Amino acid sequence: MARAMLSPAAVVDHALRIVDEEGAGALTLSAVAGRAAVAPPSLYKHVRSLAELRALVSGRIMEEIESLASEAVLGRSGDDALRALMRAWRSYVTQHPHRYSAMLQSPEPATAAAGERLVNVMLAALRAYDLEGAQAIHAARCLRAAVHGFGVLEAAGAFQRREELDESYDLLIHMVISGLRSPRPAG
Q: Taking the model in full, what pTM does it have?
A: 0.89
Query: Rounded distance, CA 14 to CA 42, Å?
Result: 14
Residue 186, helix vs strand vs coil? coil
Q: How many other β-carbons are positioned within 10 Å of the β-carbon of residue 156?
A: 10
In CATH, the number for domain 58-181 is 1.10.357.10
Provide CATH 1.10.357.10 ranges for the chain.
Answer: 58-181
Burial code (b: 16+ CB inside 10 Å, e: under 16) for 17-47 equals: ebbeeeebeebebebbbeebebeeeebeebb
Q: Report the CATH architecture of 1-48.
A: Orthogonal Bundle (1.10)
Distance from C-alpha of 173 to C-alpha of 151, rounded to nearest angstrom? 13
Q: pLDDT tens digit string along 137-170?
A: 999 999 999 999 999 999 999 999 989 999 999 9
CA-derived radius of gyration, the chain? 19
Q: Where in the chain is the domain with CATH 1.10.10.60?
A: 1-48
pLDDT at residue 84 above 80?
yes
